[in-house]
A and B are shown apart, each in its own frame.
Chain A
Amino acid sequence: MTITDQPQTKPAPTATTDLPVRGKKRRPHWAHLILTPMAVLWLIPIVMVLGLSLLPTSNPSTTAYGLFPAEPSFGNYIEIWTNNPILRNLINSALITVPSVLLVMLFGSMTAFALARLRVPLKAVIFGALTLALILPMSSIVVSVFKILQSMGLYNNLLGLVLVYTALGLPFAVIIIRTSFLAVPEEMYEAAVLDGANKFSVYWKIYLPLSKPALAVVAVWQSMSSWNDFLLPLVTLQDNELKPLTLIPLAYRGVFLSQPGALFAILVLISIPIVVVFLAVQRHLVNGLSGAIK
């Protein structure tokens, strides 16, 4: 996959008819003078993460101020690949993450629409309740959530995880999507209602497409949180066939973090799909609302 900037992926109308001012004065080269040093600074720890994942057990010495192995090798990656059913785990992780991202985007935007444009009782109370869900740390609720899943017959079931992650991800989605709904001129809503459109189709056909940047942010966030959590799958899943990717590193953290190289390798692997998601959706963060509305 190439990670180049491709302006042609922009929808043609925005690119041609309504080119923004800041687009026109192209290539502000001076920005590189700031961005490059910052990027280097940001990269140092990342290089070290990659370096440690390439650190062979046979030679724990490092070079470049300890950032990189003296003798880099892919041994750790080979080891985790051969010792774990990575593909099976990857599919399970996807089966948890994808539905929860879709559900959060759907339910979150519905709630956001209701809060932004519909008449709902006790908006402030609802919003306060949302804050509650944001703050709940997994380790404080894992026991009670487990009991609920158990009583719903969802112990040892991926659907249970999807529902919990959806519930916990909703507040974030609502806050972010609502912000972008509020930026859509209310006249559009009223005009559509006057034209006889029902509320659901206004939401679905007008608001949802306009909030793409916000949905992109929500998709990234929700992918990150459902992809990375390990406490809940650890406790609620029993069968090895159901286990997601995040449970592998726990074994490598095992007694005394016995294999730091393998741990880093698996954690790097786990991060890659999220980086891919980010690269995919960040393309939606280029089209101004202004172009889309007109």
Chain B
Amino acid sequence: MTSATLARPKPRRDWLPGTLFLLPTFALFALFVVYPIVYNVQASTLDWDGVNVGEFVGLGNYTELLKDPIFVTTLKNSGWWILLTIVPQALIGFFLALLLNEKIRGRSIYRAIFFVPAVLSPVVVGIVWQRMLDPFNGVFAKIGRATGLEFLTKGYLADPKTAIFAAIVVNVWMWTGFSMLFYLAGLQLIDDSVLQAAKIDGASTWKTVTAIIWPLLKSTHLSLLLLGIIGSLKTFELVYVLTEGGPNHASEMLPTYTFKQAFQLQSVGYASTISVVLLVIAVVSSLSMVRAFGSGFLTGDDKK
């Protein structure tokens, strides 16, 4: 184990320097995070179109939301999205990072290729994938017909049963390079002497990777998990361009639904309610991560 993992009692320190270090962040947060949240919470108690005077309805929007079948769909989709993006992205990203941490030829080019999708505008990604997945004239369907691979010719985006999963595949393509980047950064934090020792002990590559490297990257995994959950919950533009949340809301996500309510249906109050619920879900998930993985993950106090 690295020396960093040795627990030490902390000497008593004053809070003042810490607070000073936090000051700029606090100031920006109060302005641009706290206020918008307060604003959204307040708007969520109104029947309001965003322009004219709103009418106070108390918790009316919340009770309506609980009865809204589309809201249930968005929750289900978010669940799928969290599960099916985080795991493949982490595994493929980790694998790529391992390979591309080696000194192989063309390493920068490989890294760039896997990373470029994350840089592209979701608008471009959405339009291009919609074309590729078009069962009538898309590249997959054409290849499928040429090779007899029937499954390539299906209209995945057009089928309410598969649309959300097709969108998830696109998302994995888009963001795996980003997970790779994370793991590359994480790998730089591993002390080489540990790997050297394993080598001397005669550990196989597989064993080194699974028993030493993977566990040492715990904080990277957890950061990715947290960011993955939040990223999934706030997925907006890709879905909006790819399926517009359709067919018939089958691939609706919380932010796409919020957007439709606020700007197409002129129900800013209801949209704010969804935003508030989104915030609550995000906070609850991060707090449950604290419970599951120990508060050390959050505070850095407890290093186990």
Q: Which residues of A contact B (CB under 8 A)?
A: 3-5, 7, 18, 20-23, 26-29, 31-32, 34-35, 38-39, 42-46, 48-49, 52, 65-67, 106-108, 110-111, 113-121, 123-124, 126-129, 131-137, 139-141, 143-145, 147-148, 152, 163-164, 166-168, 170, 172, 174-176, 178-187, 190, 199, 203, 213-214, 216-217, 220, 224, 228, 249, 253, 260, 263-264, 267-268, 270-271, 274-275, 278-279, 282-283, 285-291
Q: Which residues of B contact A (CB under 8 A)?
A: 2-4, 6, 8, 10-15, 17-19, 21-22, 24-25, 28-29, 31-33, 35-37, 39-40, 50, 96, 99-121, 123-125, 127-129, 131-132, 137-139, 142-143, 173, 177, 181-182, 184-193, 195-196, 199, 219-220, 223, 226-227, 230, 233-234, 236, 255, 258-259, 262-263, 271-272, 275, 278-279, 282-283, 286-287, 290, 295, 298-301, 303
B residues in contact with A23, CB < 8 Å: 103
What's the nearest-Cβ distance from chain B to residue A104, in Å? 10
Minimum CB distance partner of B233 in chain A: A135
What's the nearest-Cβ distance from chain B to residue A212, in Å? 8
Given contacts A107-B25, A128-B287, A178-B300, contact A184 B15 (CB under 8 A): no
From B3, B139, B278, name the one whose CB has the most chain A CB atoms within 10 angstroms: B139
**Cα distance A268–B219 when bound, in Å?**
34
**CB distance A27 to B299 under 8 Å?**
no
Given contacts A49-B124, A139-B255, contact A35 B110 (CB under 8 A): yes
Given contacts A22-B195, A44-B139, contact A185 B2 (CB under 8 A): yes
What's the nearest-Cβ distance from chain B to residue A162, in Å? 11
B residues in contact with A133, CB < 8 Å: 29, 32-33
B residues in contact with A283, CB < 8 Å: 108
Given contacts A113-B21, A134-B230, A135-B278, contact A214 B195 (CB under 8 A): no
B residues in contact with A27, CB < 8 Å: 103-105
B residues in contact with A22, CB < 8 Å: 101-102, 192, 195
**Cα distance A279–B107 when bound, in Å?**
11
**CB distance B282 to A134 under 8 Å?**
yes
**Cα distance A88–B198 when bound, in Å?**
55
Given contacts A35-B110, A45-B173, A175-B227, contact A124 B298 (CB under 8 A): yes
The 10 A-B pairs at the shortest CB distance, nearest first, are namely A118-B18, A114-B21, A120-B18, A167-B28, A167-B32, A141-B36, A144-B39, A135-B282, A213-B185, A123-B299
**Cα distance A172–B283 when bound, in Å?**
15
**CB distance A139 to B262 under 8 Å?**
yes
**CB distance B24 to A110 under 8 Å?**
yes
Of B35, B36, B125, B173, which contacts A42 at CB under 8 A?
Answer: B173
**CB distance B99 to A31 under 8 Å?**
yes
**CB distance B113 to A140 under 8 Å?**
no
A residues in contact with B287, CB < 8 Å: 128
Minimum CB distance partner of B268 in chain A: A143
Given contacts A7-B103, A175-B226, contact A267 B124 (CB under 8 A): yes
**CB distance A127 to B181 under 8 Å?**
no
Of A45, A137, A203, which contacts B132 at CB under 8 A?
Answer: A45
A residues in contact with B263, CB < 8 Å: 139
**CB distance B279 to A31 under 8 Å?**
no
Of A66, A187, A253, which contacts B137 at CB under 8 A?
Answer: A66
**Cα distance A68–B186 when bound, in Å?**
38
Minimum CB distance partner of A260 in chain B: B127
What's the nearest-Cβ distance from chain B to residue A130, in Å? 8
**CB distance A110 to B25 under 8 Å?**
yes
**CB distance B3 to A144 under 8 Å?**
no
Given contacts A118-B13, A275-B115, 16 further A-B contacts (CB under 8 A): A5-B107, A20-B195, A28-B102, A38-B114, A43-B113, A65-B139, A115-B300, A119-B13, A120-B19, A128-B287, A132-B279, A141-B40, A176-B185, A182-B300, A186-B6, A271-B116
Minimum CB distance partner of A34 in chain B: B99
**CB distance B223 to A278 under 8 Å?**
no
B residues in contact with A148, CB < 8 Å: 31-32, 35
Of A66, A120, A286, which contacts B131 at CB under 8 A?
Answer: A66
**CB distance A278 to B112 under 8 Å?**
yes
Of A32, A45, A139, A282, which contacts B128 at CB under 8 A?
Answer: A45
Given contacts A123-B299, A140-B275, contact A179 B227 (CB under 8 A): no
**Cα distance A176–B219 when bound, in Å?**
9
What's the nearest-Cβ distance from chain B to residue A271, in Å? 5
**CB distance A183 to B120 under 8 Å?**
no
B residues in contact with A170, CB < 8 Å: 25, 28-29
